[in-house]
Amino acid sequence: MKLFFERLRSRRLASTFVLLATLSAAIVAGSFAAHGVRGQEKQNDSGDATPLKVVNSTIPPNDFVRIAKAVGPAVVNINTQTLPKESGNHKQHNFHFRQQPNQQNPDDNGDNDQQSGPDIQNFFDRFFGGQMPGGPDEGDNGQVQESLGSGFIVDAKGYIITNDHVIDKADKIYVKLSTDPDSQDLGRPARVIGVDKATDLAVIKIDTSTPLPTVKMGNSDTAQVGDWVEAIGSPFALAQTVTAGIISAKNRTIDQGAPGQFQHFIQTDAAINPGNSGGPLLNMNGEVIGVNTAIYTQSAGYQGIGFAMPSNTVVAVYNDLIGSTHKVTRGSIGIQFRQGLPGAVNREYGFKNGVLVQYVQPGGPADKAGIKALDIITTVDGRSIKDGDDLVNEIASRRPGSTIRLGYVRDGKPMDTTVTIGDRDKVFAEMNNAQPETAQESESDAGEAKLGVVVRDLPPAISAKIHASGVQVESVRTGSFADLQGVAPGLVITRVNKQPTGTKEQFDTVVGKLKTGDDVVFEAIDPHHPELGIDIIGGTL
């Protein structure tokens, strides 16, 4: 059987537990009826039996007990709902962060041949909360899809870290604290602050009137193979489940090529199952050193191999996501290379460690600095570069606009140059012949690119119902400007910044002129409740 990687995302489980005592009683009853056993009361007399008593001994609490009590209150259940989508050619994808296209990253190794088949992830999406084989797309079957995951509070104001795959297909997100009543209520509504698909991390927030318990973030770099660790989460909807194990390995990459460039995991044998996703992996100081993300399995359940995103990566991503742009900014120099070159190539080009450049983006940062194809990058700011992953991590961690000193070898001669780091997203777009977003953009996708909202011309029937003209919101991208302001699918936007948007063309023209820092005010009507009149929604772009 092939081994599969699973992003731990589980559907809410029905109550299917069967008491063995009930089954045993049924067997005994059947035996009694079949054999007619009678008259054994005397043989079964138990008058000489001594009743059992509970011994009141005490066991000193160990570190696992201490950590569970200290950290447990800050670990939360995350419930999500995906609403039924419209059928036909205009399916809504409400609050979905659009998947990045399968493109080659600027600093990637250029080798996509090692990717696992696309059906692997689809299989697990079906098994853990997605569609059934041969069935309709998730959310298109007329039923609300529910999923469950975990998370932990890192800010007393209600900021929570979890996995992107826990919430990325959700129309509604709810969070339940360990102190919340155990009822049918799904929990407190949460909103997305930002997501980073490259590391499968997300930040969400719940409103609170009182400070919430929080966790401490530990240093994953100091964790060692063999260290004890503890995991807390909600596997199979069983909240506040605690498991323990050790760190089995570090710096594991489970996706080859571009998908795994920023995913270097801590491997652990602490039991992790569907529903644990987004929960904390803790060291013996009770500090979070990882976010439980994936398992390696033959049975779709725990088999002793789990993966957690290291806390040092998590902290860096979190700090970017709570910033003004709500996205992670990474550096790039605009090159491509290959990993795992044969020894013959190394010998022919005369290097042991380093990166052999295969492609340099014309006009990109590396090109402007004089780097050419077949150059061998050996150092960054004097530090030796081991391989492509090492180079990507070094470059990506730099801020766009900063400079580095790049050492390289050309035709056997050592050379060096200064390179100005570029914005990875913009370099990526340029490498795929796509123009980055500009303040002058006024094309048909301006609303989606700048605001995160897709609109369509208003159907005449709805226009007549609300006695107004405008455009109707088809979808809103999770974490986008429109999402953060409360714009929702179905709303009719009649004006933006007091300018009429009676048609999609008018809307695109108005939005295309917006730029970062502008105030954006929507005038909107809910066609389901036109009697409520015009709602004013706005913020600063």
Please list the active-site residues: 165, 200, 277
Kind plus residue range of the DSSP H or E element containing 161: strand 159-163
Environment class of residue 301 by beta-carbon count within 10 Å: exposed (0-12), middle (13-18) or buried (19+)? middle
Per-residue CA distances from 398 to 134, 329, 333, 531 (Å): 45, 9, 10, 52
Closest to 463 measured CA to CA, from 511, 416, 523, 530: 530
Per the structure block, which two tokens stand in for 330?
A: 């990474």
In the DSSP assignment, the letter for residue 356 is E
What is the spatial distance between Cα 352 and Cα 345, in angstroms, rounded to a whole number? 10
What is the spatial distance between Cα 270 and Cα 242, in angstroms, rounded to a whole number? 9
Cα–chain center distance at 446: 26
Instruction: Decide: helix, strand or coil at residue 78.
Output: strand
Q: Please state whether beta strands 265-268 and 335-337 pair in parallel, antiparallel, or not at all (unpaired).
A: unpaired
* Inter-residue contact 318 to 217 (CB < 8 Å): no
* Inter-residue contact 471 to 448 (CB < 8 Å): no
Gyration radius of the chain over CA positions: 28
DSSP 214-242: --EE--GGG--TT-EEEEEE-GGG-TTEE
Q: Please state whether beta strands 188-196 and 201-206 pair in parallel, antiparallel, or not at all (unpaired).
A: antiparallel
Kind plus residue range of the DSSP H or E element containing 308: strand 306-310
Per-residue CA distances from 410 to 225, 349, 363, 413 (Å): 39, 9, 20, 5
Per the structure block, which two tokens stand in for 476?
A: 């809103």
What is the spatial distance between Cα 298 and Cα 129, in angstroms, rounded to a whole number? 18
Q: Please state whether beta strands 75-82 and 287-297 pair in parallel, antiparallel, or not at all (unpaired).
A: unpaired
What is the spatial distance between Cα 95 and Cα 397, in angstroms, rounded to a whole number? 29
Per the structure block, which two tokens stand in for 532?
A: 């409520």
Per the structure block, which two tokens stand in for 212?
A: 């919430």
Strand partners, 462: none
How far separated are the first and last CA of the chain, in Å rounded?
51
Hey, how many other C-beta atoms are within 10 angstroms of the C-beta on 245? 17
What is the spatial distance between Cα 521 and Cα 535, in angstroms, rounded to a whole number? 10
DSSP 491-539: -EEEEETTEE--SHHHHHHHHHT--TT-EEEEEEE-TT-GGG--EEEEE
